[in-house]
C-alpha cells in the first residue's frame, strides 16, 4: 500500500508541476501572469526573466515536494498523500503571485502604457450567430454511462453480500452491504460529471469573448475556433473520465480487495483527457500573426483584478468574465447577485454530494 501511495504521490506532483510549468502559455497573449501588457511588452526582458524564474522555481519546488512527500508517506502512511499535492498547489500560486507582483511593478515604474491607444472590442455576432455546439458528440459519454449501467445491472444479481466501496493505495479499506447505492454509486458520479462537463461545454460556446482590439476580426475568428475545440475537449474529457469510472465500478463489482491492474485503467483515461484539454488551452492564440492591426491595445484593467485571479468590478453588470489564466470564465465577485447565486449553487452541489451516499444507502 505504501509503495502504491508513493507512486500516486509522485505522479500527482509531476502532473501538477507540469501544469504549473505551462502557466505562461495558458493565458491570452496580452496577459502575463495575470498582468495586462501592451503588444510591445509581451516579450519584455522583465517578462522573459520572470517566466524563466517561475519555471525554474516550479521545477525546484516540485522536486523538493516529491522527495519530502515520499518521506512523509513512508513514515506516516498513505493518509498524508494529499499533503504533497496541497503543497504543490500552494507553491504554484505563490510563485505565480510573485511573478504577478514583479511584472506589475515593472509595468508601473516603466509606465508601459504611456502613449498607448487603449480600446475595447466586442464581437456582436457571437450573440446573433454563435458557434454551433457539437451535440452529437455528447452521445459518447452518454453511451459510456449507459454501458456501465447495463453491465452493472447484469452483474448485480451475482454480487456478494458485501462490496468494497473505498480503496486506499489500491487496497480496499472500507466495505458496505450490497445495495443499489453501494453497487451503483459510481454510476451516479458518472452521470453528474457528464452533466457538469456537458453544461460547461455548452456555456463555453455562450461565454463572452476576449476580443483583441488590435486584431478584432482575427481574434474573433480565433475565439470561434478555440471554443469549438474546447467544447469538444470537455466532452472528450467527460467520456474518458466515464471510462475511468467504469473501471473503478468494475473493481466494486469484482469484489476484489486489491485493484491490481485496474488502477492504471482508472487513472489512465483521466490523465489522457486532462492532457488533451491542456493541449487545447495551450494552443490558444498560438497561430501565425495576422496582418490586421488597428493600432489599439487592450484596455489596462488590472485594477479590477485581485492577484491576477479574482475579478471584482461593481460597475460591470456582467456575471462572468474571461479568466486571466487557463480557460473559461470567472465570477465577477463585485456583482453581488452573481456572487450570491454562484455561492448558493456551489453550496447546493456540495450538499447534494454529501447527502447522495446517505440517500442511496
The closest alpha carbon to 208, from 311, 280, 292, 344, belongs to 311
The pLDDT score that the predictor gives to residue 225 is: 83
The closest alpha carbon to 175, from 93, 79, 275, 257, belongs to 257
The pLDDT score that the predictor gives to residue 279 is: 76
Cell of 166: 473505498
Terminal alpha carbon distance of the chain: 28
**Whether the predicted pLDDT of 335 surpasses 90:** no
Higher pLDDT, residue 21 or 255: 21
- Report the alpha-carbon angle 4-86-88, nearest 5: 90
Per the confidence metrics, is the pTM higher than 0.85? no
The closest alpha carbon to 249, from 139, 144, 119, belongs to 144
Averaged pLDDT for residues 121-139: 77
The pLDDT score that the predictor gives to residue 360 is: 44
The pLDDT score that the predictor gives to residue 285 is: 59
User: Cα(289)–Cα(235) distance, rounded to whole angstroms?
Assistant: 30
Amino acid at each position: 500500500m505504501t509503495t502504491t501511495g508513493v507512486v500516486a504521490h509522485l505522479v500527482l506532483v509531476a502532473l501538477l508541476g507540469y501544469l504549473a510549468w505551462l502557466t505562461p502559455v495558458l493565458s491570452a497573449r496580452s496577459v502575463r501572469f495575470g498582468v495586462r501588457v501592451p503588444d510591445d511588452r509581451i516579450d519584455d526582458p522583465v517578462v522573459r526573466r520572470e517566466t524563466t524564474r517561475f519555471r525554474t522555481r516550479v521545477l525546484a519546488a516540485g522536486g523538493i515536494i516529491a522527495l519530502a512527500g515520499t518521506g512523509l508517506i513512508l513514515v506516516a502512511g498513505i493518509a498524508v498523500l494529499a499533503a504533497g499535492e496541497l503543497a504543490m498547489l500552494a507553491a504554484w500560486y505563490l510563485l505565480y503571485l510573485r511573478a504577478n507582483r514583479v511584472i506589475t511593478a515593472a509595468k508601473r515604474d516603466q509606465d508601459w502604457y504611456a502613449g498607448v491607444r487603449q480600446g475595447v472590442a466586442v464581437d456582436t455576432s457571437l450573440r446573433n450567430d454563435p458557434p454551433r455546439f457539437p451535440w452529437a458528440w455528447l452521445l459518447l459519454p452518454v453511451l459510456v454511462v449507459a454501458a456501465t449501467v447495463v453491465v452493472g445491472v447484469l452483474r448485480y444479481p451475482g454480487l456478494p453480500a458485501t462490496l468494497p466501496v473505498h480503496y486506499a493505495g489500491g487496497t480496499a479499506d472500507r466495505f458496505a452491504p450490497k445495495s443499489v447505492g453501494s453497487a451503483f454509486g459510481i454510476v451516479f458520479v458518472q452521470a453528474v460529471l457528464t452533466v457538469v462537463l456537458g453544461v460547461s461545454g455548452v456555456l463555453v460556446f455562450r461565454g463572452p469573448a476576449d476580443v483583441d482590439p488590435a486584431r478584432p476580426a482575427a481574434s474573433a475568428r480565433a475565439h470561434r475556433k478555440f471554443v469549438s475545440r474546447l467544447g469538444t475537449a470537455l466532452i472528450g474529457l467527460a467520456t474518458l473520465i466515464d471510462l475511468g469510472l467504469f473501471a473503478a465500478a468494475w473493481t466494486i463489482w469484482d469484489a476484489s480487495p486489491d485493484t491490481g491492474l485496474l488502477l492504471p485503467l482508472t487513472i489512465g483515461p483521466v490523465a489522457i483527457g486532462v492532457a488533451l484539454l491542456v493541449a487545447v488551452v495551450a494552443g490558444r492564440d498560438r497561430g501565425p500573426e495576422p496582418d490586421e492591426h488597428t493600432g489599439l491595445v487592450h484596455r489596462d484593467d488590472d485594477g479590477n483584478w485581485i492577484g491576477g485571479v479574482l475579478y471584482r468590478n461593481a460597475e460591470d453588470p456582467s456575471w462572468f468574465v474571461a479568466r486571466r489564466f487557463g480557460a473559461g470564465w470567472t465570477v465577477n465577485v463585485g456583482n453581488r447577485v452573481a456572487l450570491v447565486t454562484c455561492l448558493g449553487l456551489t453550496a447546493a452541489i456540495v450538499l447534494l454530494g454529501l447527502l447522495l451516499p446517505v440517500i442511496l444507502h
